[in-house]
Amino acid sequence: MEVFKVISETGPDPIKSEFKRGLISLQLGKPFRDVMREMSHRIKAPDFKLLTQAIFISQDVGGNLADVVSTIAEAIRERFKLRDFLNALTSQGKATASFIGCLPYLITVGTYFLTPSYMTPFLNNPIARIVMIGLVCWELLGFYILRRMVTFEV
């Protein structure tokens, strides 16, 4: 119960209110397992669900809960490190996808401003407009696919 009190007083706001709610439930006499189960349903973070399950197993089987929590904390830290590492590795791919996605539009606008007589016949032709709409759709689809290829979820 002491942990709930500390987190409800010093934790960041979304989790702070959940632990405060849990602390009130514990003080009113609700069983610890029920409080943790309810919190696990409200807090959608997989790390919290893992922690809840580890606490339940430790209560059922016994063992050193401090070691279990320490191992889970280390795994969470490693996952954050991996996420940051992957973001650093894929940032070049994301920048390339953005540049490649914008390049045809920049060239078209640049050509229109530098030599409008070159682009005006193309833009006034109704078939060319249909082709241009198709090109924009394909370009947006390619941009979307490139972004999806370089985005990882950890």
116 found inside a domain: yes
**Residue of 20, 1, 22 lying closest to 10 (CA atoms):** 20
131 found inside a domain: yes
70 found inside a domain: no
Same domain, 53 and 94: no
Same domain, 41 and 9: yes
pLDDT tens string 42-63: 988 888 898 889 888 888 888 7
Q: Which domain holds residue 18?
A: 2-63
Model pLDDT, residue 63 = 77
72 found inside a domain: no
Same domain, 139 and 87: yes
Residue 24 has pLDDT above 80, yes or no: yes
Model pLDDT, residue 67 = 86
24 found inside a domain: yes
pLDDT tens string 66-106: 888 888 889 889 988 998 888 888 888 778 878 888 888 89
Same domain, 52 and 94: no
132 found inside a domain: yes
Model pLDDT, residue 154 = 63
pLDDT tens string 115-135: 999 888 888 899 988 998 998
| Residue 113 vs residue 14, higher pLDDT | 113
Number of independent structural domains in the chain: 2
Residue 40 has pLDDT above 70, yes or no: yes
Same domain, 41 and 92: no
